[in-house]
């Protein structure tokens, strides 16, 4: 069973309107032809009748009761001449004897009465003709018989006149139909433009943007649909907010007991615990450390998702962010004997963004780099300008990322090696979300070579639009996404 695919509303409107216009044009053409044929026939029939009556005046009956036609030769030639058509005449006596003209010219099925005429259509010599037969009484007696005077002409001039009249009547109508089709096309375009605008608005909207659709400029017919969509968006937003709140509440509730458990495990290991319990204590400490890291990441993710609905975009100096985060991570880097290098290669260092979210992004990149770089490795943070863009780059000499994993590392809870480090697979997902909110792009490439282990690490490059190159340096704005 074949199914019919969706049909465009625009095409359906075009089809119905154009079919209606063609139907109206067809009916108009038929009526125009009928009226033109009527008037042309009436005009030429009157001309034929006048000629027949003129011939009737020339018919005489001699003393022998014979019917004769006293018609000069020149008049006979004039009667037979008609520009573009052939004229045929037949005059027959009451007894049917041919008096003048064509003997085989067709007569009407019902002969006319005295002083009456009959119009009819027929064919003669393989041509269509229009004829009139007039009944001329041979005398004034009540029972007088009729002399039949028939005159016929071919229909060339009639057909030409009908065609010309139809053309004159239909040409303005066709032009009006063309104009109406253009107006209809424009009307369909502008009438459906709100739907196209709505489609474009939804197409350009982020999947996190659950703000209500603007219904002020929409036609009344779209209002119920938009209201239903807004109600659905509101329900989805409420559900997401409940999930975010649950994650945040659960993380807060878990953080304190996990921190306490981690502290107790550390204290137990520092005491003179028996050897047989040290390994379980070490396992508890590693597990609680990893769980604490996961809780911290969940809290960070919850903050990112919650803040995304009220991001305040202002000019932010990336140089200041870099130095602030480096000061935060210089201690953990020194503990692993990592060399931390900062390269600031531009003075135009401002982007339009949310300072807290950008700090969170750089914090996760640095934490990720420090965690997966072996001791005595290298870290480099570089900021430079490229045309209308600013590029923030974090490179390390860590374990690196396989080429087939580059698209997966930004997914939530994806880890290259679950047994390595205390990561939970959320840090880079947070980085990707923050970059997306700031209309920035992230590329991943091989990083630095490790001085001793010969690892080739990872290099994350975030590409921003420079604030001073944005259209008219837009004022700080707030986004409303969820």
CATH number at residue 291: 1.10.287
Strand order in the sheet with 87-92: 98-101, 87-92, 146-154, 127-137, 117-124
Judge if 345 and 423 occupy the same domain: yes
For residue 107, give its domain range: 9-163
Question: What is the Cα–Cα distance from 142 to 144, expressed in whole angstroms?
Answer: 6
Report CA Rg, the chain: 50
Count of structural domains within the chain = 3
Q: Answer with the residue of higher pLDDT: 184 or 302.
A: 184
Kindly state the average pLDDT of the residues 51-62.
Answer: 84
Question: Would you say residue 200 lies in a domain?
Answer: no
Question: Would you say residue 283 lies in a domain?
Answer: yes
Question: Would you say residue 25 lies in a domain?
Answer: yes
Question: What is the Cα–Cα distance from 343 to 359, expressed in whole angstroms?
Answer: 18
Instruction: Report pLDDT digits (tens) over 1-45.
Output: 455 556 777 788 888 888 888 898 888 888 888 888 888 888 888
Which pLDDT does position 479 carry in this prediction? 46
Task: Give CA angle at 302 (441, 442), nearest 5°.
Answer: 10
Instruction: Report pLDDT digits (tens) over 120-153.
Output: 999 999 999 999 999 988 877 777 888 899 999 9
Q: Identify the residue whose tokens are 């016929």.
A: 152
Question: Would you say residue 388 lies in a domain?
Answer: yes
Which pLDDT does position 480 carry in this prediction? 41
The CATH number linked to 462 is 3.30.565.10
Please, how many CA atoms are within 13 Å of residue 352, restricted to the half-sphere of its CB? 19
**What own/partner pairs with CB < 8 Å and gap ≥ 24 does 179-186 have?**
180/21, 181/18, 181/21, 184/14, 184/17, 184/18, 185/14
- If you average pLDDT over every residue of the chain, what do you get? 80
Judge if 293 and 229 occupy the same domain: yes
Judge if 220 and 72 occupy the same domain: no
* Reported confidence tier of residue 482, pLDDT bands at 50, 70, 90: very low
- Answer whether residue 391 shows pLDDT above 90: yes
Question: Would you say residue 192 lies in a domain?
Answer: no
């Amino acid at each position: 069973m074949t199914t019919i695919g969706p049909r465009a509303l625009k095409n359906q409107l075009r089809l119905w309107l154009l079919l209606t216009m063609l139907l109206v044009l067809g009916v108009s053409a038929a009526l125009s032809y009928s009226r033109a044929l009527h008037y042309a026939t009436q005009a030429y029939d009157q001309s034929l009748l006048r000629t027949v009556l003129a011939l009737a005046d020339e018919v005489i009956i001699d003393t022998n009761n014979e019917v004769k036609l006293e018609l000069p030769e020149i008049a006979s030639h004039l009667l037979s001449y008609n520009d573009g058509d052939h004229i045929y005449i037949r005059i027959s006596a009451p007894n049917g004897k041919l008096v003048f003209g064509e003997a085989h010219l067709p007569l009407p099925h019902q002969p006319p009465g005295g002083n009456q005429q009959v119009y009819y259509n027929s064919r003669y010599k393989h041509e269509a003709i229009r004829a009139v037969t007039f009944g001329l009484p041979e005398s004034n007696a009540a029972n007088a018989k009729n002399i039949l005077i028939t005159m016929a002409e071919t229909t060339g001039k009639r057909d030409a006149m009908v065609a010309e009249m139809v053309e004159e009547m239909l040409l303005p109508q066709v032009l009006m139909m063309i104009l109406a089709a253009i107006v209809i096309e424009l009307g369909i375009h502008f009438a459906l433009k709100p739907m196209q605008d709505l489609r474009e608005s939804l197409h350009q909207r982020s999947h996190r943007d659950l703000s209500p659709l603007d219904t002020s400029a929409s036609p009344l017919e779209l209002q119920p649909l938009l209201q239903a969509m807004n109600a659905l968006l509101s329900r989805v937003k409420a559900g997401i907010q409940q999930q975010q709140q649950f994650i945040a509440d659960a993380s807060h509730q878990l953080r304190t007991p996990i921190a306490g458990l981690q502290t107790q495990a550390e204290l137990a290991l520092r005491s003179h615990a028996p050897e047989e319990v040290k390994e379980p204590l070490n396992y508890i400490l590693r597990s609680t450390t990893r769980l604490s890291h996961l809780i911290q990441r969940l809290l960070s993710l919850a903050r990112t998702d919650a803040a995304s609905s009220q991001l305040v975009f202002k000019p932010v100096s990336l140089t200041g962010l870099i130095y602030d985060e480096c000061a935060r991570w210089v201690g953990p880097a020194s503990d692993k004997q990592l060399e931390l290098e900062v390269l600031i290669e531009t003075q135009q260092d401002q982007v339009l963004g949310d300072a807290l979210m950008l700090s969170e992004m750089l914090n996760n990149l640095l934490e990720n780099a420090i965690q997966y770089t072996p001791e005595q490795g290298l870290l480099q943070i570089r900021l430079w300008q490229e045309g209308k863009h600013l590029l923030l780059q974090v490179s390390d000499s860590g374990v690196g990322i396989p080429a087939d994993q580059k698209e997966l590392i930004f997914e939530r809870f994806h880890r290259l090696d679950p047994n390595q480090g205390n990561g939970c697979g959320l840090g880079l997902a947070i980085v990707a979300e923050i970059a997306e909110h700031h209309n920035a792009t992230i590329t991943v490439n091989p990083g630095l070579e490790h001085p001793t282990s010969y690892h080739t690490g990872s290099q994350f490059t975030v590409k921003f639009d420079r604030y001073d190159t944005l259209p008219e340096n837009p004022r700080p704005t707030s986004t409303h996404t969820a």
